[in-house]
Amino acid sequence: MAKTVTTVSEEGYSATNEIREFETTIDANGEDAPDTLEALLAAYGSCYVPALRVGGQQRGADDLGKIEIDITGELNDDDKLESIHFDISVEGDVDDDTGEEVIERAFELCKVHDALKDSLHADTTFEGDAF
C-alpha cells in the first residue's frame, strides 16, 4: 500500500496538493496559505491527537475529552526546524504520571513522529483537567 499526493505549482512558491478528493494549498512564503513548516507542524499535531487517545486508552486514561496542543517550532539561523515543543491540555482528569505514560505511548504510535529525525522529537508539557 502507498499514500499518494499530487503537488502542483503553476508559478511562484505556492503549491496546491491533491490528496484523494481533498485539496490543500501550501505557500512556502506563508503569504497566501500556511508555509511548509506550519503545514508540517499541523500534520504532526493532527497525527498526535489520535495517538494520544489510543495511548490514553492503553494506559488507563480512557476518556481524555477535549485535547488541545499548542505547537511551537523553533527555527535555526537557516530557517529550518531546530526543535518542536507540544503544550498538551486535555479535558480529562489525568494525573502527571499517567500523562507521561500516555505521552510516551503516543510517540510510539504517531506515524508523523516516526518520519521526523530524532533531533526534532517534540518536547512536551501535559495538563489534565484543563477545561
Residues 74 and 11 in one domain: no
Residues 108 and 45 in one domain: yes
0.85 surpassed by pTM: yes
Please give the distance of CA 85 from its chain centroid, rounded to a whole number. Answer: 10
The C-alpha atoms of residue 83 and residue 76 are separated, in whole angstroms, by: 9
Residue 3 belongs to what domain range? 1-34
Residues 16 and 74 in one domain: no
Other beta carbons within 10 angstroms of residue 113's beta carbon come to 18
Q: What percent of the chain has pLDDT over 90?
A: 85
Residues 53 and 111 in one domain: yes
Residues 7 and 60 in one domain: no
In tens, the pLDDT along 48-92 reads 999 999 999 999 999 999 999 999 999 999 999 999 999 999 999
What is the domain count for the chain? 2
Q: For position 63, which CATH number holds?
A: 3.30.300.20
What SS3 state is found at 112? Answer: helix
The C-alpha atoms of residue 63 and residue 110 are separated, in whole angstroms, by: 19
